[in-house]
Amino acid sequence: MLKELNHVIDYIEEHLTDDLPLEIISEYAGVSDYHFKKIFFYLSGFTLNEYIKNRKLSEANKDLLNGERVTDVAFKYGYQSVDGFTRAFKKWSGFLPSDVIKKGISKSFPKLSFIITVRGGINMEFRIEDKPAFNLVGVSKRVPMQFEGVNNEIVKLAQSITDEQKKEMHSLQNIAPYEIVNASYDADANFLKEEGDLTHLIGVLTTENQVSGLLDKVPVEACTWAIFPNEGPFPSTLQETMARTYSEWLPSSDYEVINAPSFSFTKMDEHKKDYAYSEVWIPVRKK
């Protein structure tokens, strides 16, 4: 995975002044758009959009230092107007493009390079499980892509589920894990959106194919799953587990993520406030 990520970084670097054919980026990494965005974010701390924007502005700063005109630099890096470029540059650097030319001040944002770093020596529990084909069945909607904090649109989705929908989900549920799961898939392919949207489904796993019009059905092919159990304060422990899965376990493992929905479930502790047991299920294959 690190090799593919560094290839992506090189590819971006070669096309900073072009209209990036962004669908190629996830193909370089060999994973779906959504999984790639998560891997990139958890490893770098930046969204892909933020990284590309920062690199463009950093190179623009160099060009201004070398005497290029503000107008030429603005259009070179894809801005539609000088005003738009000036606002973006000021927000990023804290000073105006003209200050670079007149005073020689500058700011830089270096190209990323991904390497494996051993951190903390903390064990990460996981198991590998092969699973036959099944359907994710439940209630879904398009929501903003968000890797940290509470996603309010998902909260609204959960609150919208009717008793009738809950009853049908319960009747269909016939394959482990026998829990209400949160699944994410079908992320926007447009990497230049700040985050983009994806489809989020709250539902169950079933081998049944007959589903009423009250619920959505997403077929999932037979595959291998890497499963990461975790227990602790909710939601911070779950989010930390997801971050470590993508930033630590995946790059150093013998597995790679495949293009299928990932999902998780959470069981709140009845006796401890904001404390839960959760599992994160990631679809993988051997490299």
Give the integer Cα–Cα distance in Å for 209 and 69: 62
118 pLDDT tier (thresholds 50, 70, 90): very low
- Comparison of pLDDT for 26 and 194, the residue scoring more: 26
Least confident of 44-53, 81-90, 128-137, 278-287: 44-53
Element (H, E) at 12: helix 2-14
Give the integer Cα–Cα distance in Å for 130 and 176: 12
Which tokens belong to 106?
A: 């500058």
User: Is 140 a residue whose pLDDT tops 70?
Assistant: yes
3-state secondary structure string, 152-220? HHHHHHHHHCCHHHHHHHHHHCCCCCCCCEEEEECCCCCCCCCCCEEEEEEEEEECCCCCCCCCEEEEE
Distance of alpha carbon 201 from its chain centroid, rounded? Answer: 16
User: Is 260:184 a contact under the CB 8 Å cutoff?
Assistant: no
User: Is 23 a residue whose pLDDT tops 70?
Assistant: no
Distance of alpha carbon 219 from its chain centroid, rounded? Answer: 21
Question: What's residue 212's pLDDT?
Answer: 94
Question: What's residue 25's pLDDT?
Answer: 63
pTM across the whole model: 0.65
Give the integer Cα–Cα distance in Å for 206 and 211: 10
29 pLDDT tier (thresholds 50, 70, 90): low
Distance of alpha carbon 121 from its chain centroid, rounded? Answer: 25
Question: What's residue 284's pLDDT?
Answer: 92
Classified as helix, coil or strand, 14 is helix
Domains and CATH numbers, the chain: 2-103 (1.10.10.60), 127-286 (3.20.80.10)
Question: What's residue 258's pLDDT?
Answer: 86
Longest dimension (CA), the chain: 71
